[in-house]
Amino acid sequence: MSNLFNAGQKKSWESNDNKFTFIDLFAGIGGFHMAFHRLGAECVFASEWDEDARKTYEANFKDISPSLFKEGIFAEDNNMFAGDIREVNEKDIPDFHVLTGGFPCQAFSQAGNKRGFDDTRGTLFFDVARIIKEKQPEAFFIENVRHLKNHDDGKTFETIKRVITEDLEYSFYPFIVKAKDHGLPQLRPRLFMIGFRDRRISFEPPESIPLKLNMSDVFGGDCEREIGFTIRVGGRGSGIDDRRNWDAYRVDDEVVTLTPKEGKKMMGFPADFKFPVSEAKAMKQLGNSVAVDAVEAFAAKVVGKLKKHYEIS
């Protein structure tokens, strides 16, 4: 595939023929989509297998990215919002500038044997790699739990790094990122991995910023914690004195439980973000999502680097 940007030839970033584009893999409820949309980017393809997450995604992005749900060859209703990425032929994905996604972490059966792509077959990272290999995007921005760096004594992370830098020949910049360092009131440490097809592009993380709101702002009352617990998938209702507690808080001297209303604020989703599912499922979806403001801060740096490198106004 030819470079979507013509190096040295200035074009308007927002012109119809050169709209900044990305794809949203393992999309969940759209944290990456929300972050890149705020930067003026257009999502041209998305993939998510979980039916409940798909409902939430479509409810919130059908108006923002209507082409995802009206055109294409994927999914039962013939749109560009695919289900299981393993069933998608990478050649059928439209051209795009940046690949994004928070792929699940799985053990690599051959990790450490330096077999390149064969090390990752049967894992969902392999689908990320095969799409990058075929489509040759300008950059990627993928995310995972911070413990991926130490998974299987570090072999999984080293395999991912080796595939990206040696097999795909992209640069590789990993960072452990906390949501609280980008304005949101929870720790939520995550591993961000960013890389560029043109290895001459350097990348530095964005600077930390103060909290935009604290837990008292989240609840609208006096909360004993300034920064909240990391929102999780399981363990709801453990109780405020349980060491596993993450959703019970003391506000105005009363114990209250976190709901999607507060969870959206902690994750950086707008107040009008919709959950067409039960509260329990909504909380699970938030626990599986990315902190939008943290992603946006790094995405803005990626966009800025590409603009500067390709002299795009």
Residues that are catalytic: 105
E strand or H helix at 296, and its extent? helix 292-309
Of 198, 74, 86, the C-alpha closest to 136 is 198
Q: Are 190 and 140 in contact (CB under 8 A)?
A: no
For residue 249, give the 3-state DSSP assignment: strand
Angle, CA 27 vertex, CA 21 and CA 30 arms, to 5°? 80
Q: Which residue type sits at 278?
A: S
Contacts of 95 (CB under 8 A, 6+ apart): 1, 4, 21, 44, 135
Give the DSSP per-residue string, 177-190: E-GGGBT-SB---E
Q: Are 27 and 33 in contact (CB under 8 A)?
A: yes
Closest CA relative to residue 138, chosen from 297, 15, 7: 7
Q: Is 40 exposed, middle or buried (0-12, 13-18, 19+ CB in 10 A)?
A: exposed
Q: How many CB atoms lie within 10 A of CB 217?
A: 15
Angstrom distances, CA of residue 164 to CA of 99, 212, 238: 13, 35, 40
